[in-house]
Amino acid sequence: MTKINDKKTKRKNVKGFTLVELIVVMIILAILAALLVPSMTGYIDKANNNAAIVEARQVLVACQTIASENYFHGSVWDAADTAEAKALSEVTGTISDVKVASGKIDEFKYVTESGITVTYNQGAADKFTVS
**pLDDT score at 14:** 67
Q: How many domains does the chain contain in total?
A: 1
Structural domain of 20: 15-130
Q: Please state, in angstroms and rounded to a whole number, the distance separating the CA atoms of residues 91 and 103.
A: 22
Question: Does a structural domain hold residue 4?
Answer: no
Backbone angles phi, psi at 121, to 5 degrees: -140, 115
Question: Does a structural domain hold residue 55?
Answer: yes
Q: Please state, in angstroms and rounded to a whole number, the distance separating the CA atoms of residues 11 and 30.
A: 31
Q: How confident is the model at residue 38 (pLDDT cuts 50, 70, 90)?
A: confident
Question: Does a structural domain hold residue 125?
Answer: yes
**pLDDT score at 76:** 76
Q: Supply the angle between the helices 19-70 and 79-89 in degrees, to the nearest 10.
A: 130
The pTM is what?
0.69
